Amino acid sequence: MRKTLRVGDDISTDHIIPGRFAHLRSNLPELAKHALEDTYPSFAQKVNPGDFLVAGKNFGLGSSREHAAIVLKVAGIKAVLAKSCARIFFRNAINVGLPVLITNTDAIDEGDELEVDWATGQVKDLAKGIELGFGRIPPVMLKILEEGGLVPFIQKYKNLELPGG
């Protein structure tokens, strides 16, 4: 049961990690302090380990910078819930062990407490008393996620022989 932080539609990787912090990209804990700074100025102060980030449509559009997914995780975000997600960000998030759940997030507000049932694919908004289903993560990605990300996956299996698509 975790709190949510809420952002809107079309949050780009430039919103998550603006280019002006490029000099911090080799210092991820420092970079994480600036996550979403222009869009949600109090994000770094408000976020607690295990919180959910709830977004609108096309979350993570833009750059391939994996740092955008990593800093959300470093900041403490347990999972991102979005109506839809840009392709590169979705893959990066799974690769760094940050689940992205695709669901209709319209009814979820800032501060709502959520409960995610990974087995049944349901999100419960306890504040609203509603339940939402989320789209299934492709088996390949689920396997990577289960190992904690792509690097741990490869460390374990040494290759890319992935389970059936």
Q: Which residue has the tokens 């449509």?
A: 57
Say which DSSP state 61 is in: B
Beta carbon nearer to other proteins, 79 or 116: 79
Burial of 54 (0-12, 13-18, 19+ CB in 10 A): buried
The nearest distance, CB 34 to other proteins, in angstroms, is 11
44 binds other proteins (CB under 8 A): no
The nearest distance, CB 27 to other proteins, in angstroms, is 8
The nearest distance, CB 119 to other proteins, in angstroms, is 23
48 binds other proteins (CB under 8 A): no
113 binds other proteins (CB under 8 A): no
State which H helix or E strand residue 6 sits in.
Answer: strand 2-6
Beta carbon nearer to other proteins, 26 or 45: 26
- For residue 69, give the nearest of 124, 82, 83 by alpha carbon: 82
